[in-house]
A = this chain, B = another copy of it.
């Protein structure tokens, strides 16, 4: 079975990205797109990326306490990461969609401090971190890209702090929905109709709200004709209305 990027670069349909090679379904764009790597450099990167069998729903990609070895890229499906504190309280720290990278919080330690599980059947690329480090020494673009990737993660987390610390429950949920919507849209799927891969409980946990509150707000948004909600299927009916809530 070909490696994901090798597969991508060998597919014949054209790719709009500036590295000028075809990249198939573009699911690795989080790695490919901003890199501006030469073709032979992409091939070098590809050589260290590993893909295993898909993960089933609720299956762990890694567990807190186990040795840190790799970071991961979502190819399909969805993943949540979460930490459990001393009192056993779980905190969801992120949702990751196709093309996104997770596991960077493990870099600081020899062992994982958080866990990652698949929210639905998901295929995931594993990128061994020591090999990535080595390769980064000879590919300045790759090094820079990874610094930027981590910086973006920091910015996201800081935005989340602001969202939770300063915004109402309505605003928090609206912001999350728009975020997921636009992340789906970037993969050129319809942005306004999408499936929420996570439970109401996960959403509430992530946003610092209770399940009941999340549920009530979904109900209210539907009454206000902002959304059409059918279990996990979401359709945004009034994009501007939501954006006003989310303060864009």
Name A's B-contacting residues (CB within 8 A): 83, 85-87, 89, 91, 93, 104-109, 113-114, 133, 136-138, 140, 143-144, 146-155, 157-158, 160-162, 164-166, 207-208, 247-248
Contacts and interface: CB of A to CB of B under 8 A. Distances in A.
A248 B107 CA distance: 23
A151 B150 contact: yes
Contact of A93 (B113, B114, B158): B158
Contacts of A164: 161, 164-165, 208
A89 B147 contact: no
A93 B161 contact: yes
A171 to B, nearest CB: 11
B148 A108 contact: yes
A242 B247 CA distance: 37
A138 B154 CA distance: 26
Contacts of A208: 161, 164-166
Contacts of A147: 107, 133, 146-147, 150
Contacts of A150: 104, 107, 147, 150-151, 154
A154 B94 CA distance: 12
Contacts of A138: 137
A93 B86 CA distance: 25
A190 to B, nearest CB: 26
Contact of A148 (B107, B143, B166): B107
A17 B172 CA distance: 45
A79 to B, nearest CB: 15
Contacts of A148: 107-108
Contacts of A91: 158, 161-162, 165-166
